[in-house]
Structure 1
Amino acid sequence: MNKAKLFTKDFLIITFINFFVSLNFSLLMVIISEFAMIKFNSSPGEAGLLTGMFIFGALVARLFTGVWIGRIGQKKTLYIGLVLVLATACLYFGAASVSLLLVVRFLHGISFGIASTSAGTIAAKIVARERTGEGIGYYGLSVTVAAAVGPFLSIFISRHGSYSTIFAVCTIFAAFNLILALFLSARDVKLTEKQLAEMKEFKLKNYFEPNVVTISIVCMVIFFCYSSVLSFFSVYAREINMVEAAGFFYIVFAAVIILTRPFVGRLFDFKGENLIMYSAILIFIIGMVIFSQAQAGHIFLLAGAVIGLGFGALQSSGQAIAVKLTEQHRMGLATSTFYMFADTGMGSGPWVFGLIIPFTGFRGMYLCVAAIMAACLLLYYLLYGKNAMRGIVKQGDVRPCE
């Protein structure tokens, strides 16, 4: 029996659209703390708040995006998001104070939340069910590669150009995405009159997908921990004299994920999610310990490889589990619910860790992250893993964890 085709025109287009949306995010995420600390003399806590404000904006947008997708369709929602991404990218040029920058970050987060949620919904509907792990894994590479290219470009441009040049590059990418979206031909899922009527009712289940809450909580903790690396990466690298190695950290990070992603996706589909999730959490813990204690460039890059292997597998597998648990007509809600929890972790992390740094230093803070990830092993088992092991988690089960 032939496998369902995976790399269709629409799949490639939506993957590239998500790549450029994510690239805008990672380009700014890495340097925004440093930008605020240098230009406005902000404290680490204030700089972390700037990072978190973006995620908070995305969180607010995701709360309503799943409903909009159900009512007006994922393509129209995607177009709205991409237009807003372009508009907010232009606003960075006028941010002349920390207060204005906070507003811009919040608005940019809203646009990012709309665009990325609708793109993820389109991708989930394009991928055949029997290839969920593999398909979502490849789609997730758009985020992974962006997470590698973005920091590399940010560090390169900031060293040889200016912050305004970074803002200009983000604006160009946002404009290109709008053009790319015109070639997307994926059809919206047709909802029945009953389903449309239900979506218009003011009910909690019209804003959250109950099936994916437990796995989303686990991923919230994972993204909470990863935010410590992303938001303070540039400052940490400078403090420990790893600026040269820092330029290649995310290249190594992405290379490892790209090389291992095909195997991770297939293992997910054929061996189950528990094998991937337990292994990846352990690998992530090891990576954070190495990262916290790195004294030489090659050790710093080794940490990038190990963290990339662990986090990359967790990111794609977590979303694949969410897709696996959801019915087609509620895919938008499932995607928005998953990202809402992930954004909560990503947004609160920089602020929390920014408050910890003055007491522990960067190395101590990253050891705390490793300890939190260790607790995440138990959390995954209690909320999802034990039922997956028993084989009682299935699509449409509104109680995925007893």
Structure 2
Amino acid sequence: METRVWNKTFILLFAFEMFAQIGANTINPIVSNYAVWLGASYAIAGFLAGINAFVSFAVRPLAGIFLRRFLRRKILLVATIAFVASAILCTVFASLITLGVQRVVFGAAFVFKSALVVAFASSVVPKEKLGQGVGYIGLANVLGAALGPVVASFVSNAMGYPFTCGVGVAFFIIQFIIITMVKDPHEAEQEETFAKLREENAKKSTREIVKAETRLSSMFHLKTVPLALTFICEAFPYGTILMFVLLVSEERGTTGGAFFFAVYVIVCLLLRPLTTRLYDKYGFAKVFLPEGILMCAGIIILVYADSVATFIISAAVFGAGQGALYPSAQSEAVRGRSTQESAMAMNTLYLGADIGMFIGPLISGIILEVATSEIMIWANFAVAVIWVITLAFYVRWRAKDDLKEAEAAAAAKAGQTEVAGEQTGE
């Protein structure tokens, strides 16, 4: 068992996630502009920019079937090949059709990558350092999300959109090389689980197998559903700020919005080592409230932000809160779960995030049509408060569920000891 967070497998997974995010965020920001350059209307361009999120939402329930049947390292390998192939399409064949295919393939592959990376990383770090492991993988995500758009802006202005997609291909190829170097210490455990599933299915008819695979418990980790539902309220304001902070900044006559996510990333980089250790030391029940309060405070500051300084302060406070609470919640999703359960748990958790990222900007855009940006941001503040409140209920539920599991495990162990004693007596 590893005693360090930064072991070889974890370092490779960190690099894998970072290059995956750089590649994705090199291509994602230019999709709408690329589509318009190819002759699409703004409506079609917006559709192409967002269709990958819809595909991810549609595929995620089905992903559980694959996660329960195939080695996670091989799934990540196939997903990476899909990233490379889809990016090559919009590099070599500049057309709206190939751009649309790229978005669909990318959206489907992203589901498996997102579900497995955190689960994989959490299984190769010491249990008592789970928060640090998940937090640092999240930091790779943040770094990629920060660097990708910078690359996209520079390269697209200098070399054009197809060439920019080619740069994305290069990052995905690096990602592919990295995943071929990763060794999974839990593959034997996964193979054993798959073998048991095959044995069970061999005794069933095709109809029984289909019925079993289409049950909710086969597609989702049911005990993660409560946390996933709260994640709708996390992704709602995050998605809104991501999409509208520049517009709000321009409306108020300041360039502060341009600095928002740069400051957010810097704060996450500086605080992540501390906040992840706090999770490991005190647990989710004690860290979620202060982190949630900071998140809400950052949104309140954004309501009144009208200068570069106030946008920067808002970003710093929001980053200290949301940037810490998000990985804490991810850690909570995989805490105490088996290797197989962790992947299912993350896939279930991200379903809530997908919904929030979709409806947040949509509803906020409607509000902005009929009201002011201040009212729109207050509405998102209300959703953030709901997230913190629902997390309080979740914490109480999880504590009771953990107690039930511990009692059941103790009873099972006592039963085994009793049987062993009887056999010894005989």
Distance in 1 (alpha carbons) for counterparts of 2:284 and 2:182: 31
Matched ranges for 1:46-85 at <5 A: 49-85=47-83
CA shift digits 1:312-331 (9 cap, x unpaired): 11210111001114223322
Change over 3 Å in CA distance of 1:220–1:28 after alignment to 2: farther
CA shift digits 1:208-260 (9 cap, x unpaired): 111211112112220122111223344444444545x5554323211111211
The answer to which of 232-241 and 262-271 deviates more is: 232-241
Matched ranges for 1:263-274 at <5 A: 263-274=274-285
Q: Does the aligned pair in 2 maintain the 1:234–1:246 contact within 8 Å?
A: yes
Distance in 2 (alpha carbons) for counterparts of 1:41 and 1:167: 21
SS in structure 1 opposite 2:6? coil
CA shift digits 1:252-281 (9 cap, x unpaired): 211111211122112112212123222222
Distance in 2 (alpha carbons) for counterparts of 1:121 and 1:386: 24
Distance in 2 (alpha carbons) for counterparts of 1:37 and 1:228: 23
Distance in 2 (alpha carbons) for counterparts of 1:18 and 1:144: 10
User: CA offset at residue 396 of structure 1?
Assistant: 8.5
Change over 3 Å in CA distance of 1:304–1:197 after alignment to 2: farther
Q: Which one of 212, 219, 223 corresponds to residue 211 of structure 1? A: 223
The answer to which of 337-346 and 194-203 deviates more is: 194-203
The answer to which of 128-137 and 325-334 deviates more is: 325-334
Q: Which one of 372, 382, 386 corresponds to residue 383 of structure 2? A: 372
SS in structure 2 opposite 1:71? coil
Change over 3 Å in CA distance of 1:238–1:155 after alignment to 2: farther
Q: Does the aligned pair in 2 maintain the 1:268–1:317 contact within 8 Å?
A: yes
Q: Does the aligned pair in 2 maintain the 1:26–1:147 contact within 8 Å?
A: yes
For residue 58 of structure 1, what is the amino acid of its counterpart?
A: S
Aligned to 1:194: 196
Q: Does the aligned pair in 2 maintain the 1:20–1:177 contact within 8 Å?
A: yes
Identify which of structures 1 and 2 has the higher relative contact order when contacts are C-alpha pairs closer than 8 Å and 6+ apart: 1
Distance in 1 (alpha carbons) for counterparts of 2:369 and 2:35: 18
Q: Does the aligned pair in 1 maintain the 2:130–2:280 contact within 8 Å?
A: yes
Contiguous gaps of at least 5 residues in structure 1? none
**Residue 327 of structure 1 pairs with residue 338 of structure 2:** yes
Q: Which one of 364, 367, 383 corresponds to residue 356 of structure 1? A: 367
Q: Which one of 166, 170, 173 corresponds to residue 168 of structure 1? A: 166
Distance in 2 (alpha carbons) for counterparts of 1:42 and 1:142: 32
User: CA offset at residue 7 of structure 1?
Assistant: 0.5
The answer to which of 122-131 and 46-55 deviates more is: 46-55
CA shift digits 1:183-214 (9 cap, x unpaired): 11123233344355568642321211112111
Identical amino acids, percent of aligned pairs: 25
SS in structure 1 opposite 2:272? helix
- Root-mean-square deviation (CA, aligned residues, Å) is 3.0
**Residue 340 of structure 1 pairs with residue 348 of structure 2:** no
Distance in 2 (alpha carbons) for counterparts of 1:86 and 1:349: 30
Q: Does the aligned pair in 1 maintain the 2:2–2:124 contact within 8 Å?
A: no
Q: Does the aligned pair in 2 maintain the 1:211–1:396 contact within 8 Å?
A: no
User: CA offset at residue 21 of structure 1?
Assistant: 1.8
Change over 3 Å in CA distance of 1:207–1:396 after alignment to 2: farther
For residue 196 of structure 2, what is the amino acid of its counterpart?
A: K
Aligned to 2:127: 129
For residue 173 of structure 1, what is the amino acid of its counterpart?
A: F
Change over 3 Å in CA distance of 1:60–1:264 after alignment to 2: same
Distance in 1 (alpha carbons) for counterparts of 2:340 and 2:354: 23
For residue 273 of structure 1, what is the amino acid of its counterpart?
A: F
User: CA offset at residue 18 of structure 1?
Assistant: 1.1
For residue 176 of structure 2, what is the amino acid of its counterpart?
A: L
Distance in 2 (alpha carbons) for counterparts of 1:340 and 1:32: 23
Aligned to 1:385: 395
Q: Which one of 140, 148, 163 corresponds to residue 150 of structure 1? A: 148
Matched ranges for 1:27-42 at <5 A: 27-32=26-31, 40-42=40-42
Q: Does the aligned pair in 1 maintain the 2:2–2:126 contact within 8 Å?
A: no
**Residue 91 of structure 1 pairs with residue 101 of structure 2:** no
For residue 57 of structure 2, what is the amino acid of its counterpart?
A: L
Change over 3 Å in CA distance of 1:159–1:291 after alignment to 2: farther
SS in structure 1 opposite 2:400? coil
Aligned to 2:298: 287
Q: Give the paired residue count.
A: 390
Q: Could you tell me the TM-score, scaled by structure 2's length?
A: 0.81
Q: Does the aligned pair in 2 maintain the 1:227–1:350 contact within 8 Å?
A: yes
User: CA offset at residue 110 of structure 1?
Assistant: 0.9
Q: Could you tell me the TM-score, scaled by structure 1's length?
A: 0.85
The answer to which of 300-309 and 346-355 deviates more is: 346-355
For residue 222 of structure 1, what is the amino acid of its counterpart?
A: E
Distance in 2 (alpha carbons) for counterparts of 1:246 and 1:169: 27
Q: Which one of 159, 182, 186 corresponds to residue 184 of structure 1? A: 182
Q: Does the aligned pair in 1 maintain the 2:249–2:306 contact within 8 Å?
A: no
Q: Does the aligned pair in 1 maintain the 2:132–2:273 contact within 8 Å?
A: yes
Distance in 1 (alpha carbons) for counterparts of 2:32 and 2:404: 42
Q: Which one of 263, 267, 276 corresponds to residue 252 of structure 1? A: 263
Distance in 1 (alpha carbons) for counterparts of 2:253 and 2:31: 20
- In our comparison, the structure showing a higher alpha carbon Rg is 2
Aligned to 1:16: 15
For residue 217 of structure 1, what is the amino acid of its counterpart?
A: L
CA shift digits 1:30-58 (9 cap, x unpaired): 45456667874526xx7665554222222
Distance in 2 (alpha carbons) for counterparts of 1:246 and 1:157: 22
Q: Does the aligned pair in 1 maintain the 2:56–2:354 contact within 8 Å?
A: yes
Contiguous gaps of at least 5 residues in structure 2? 202-208, 407-426
Aligned to 2:204: none
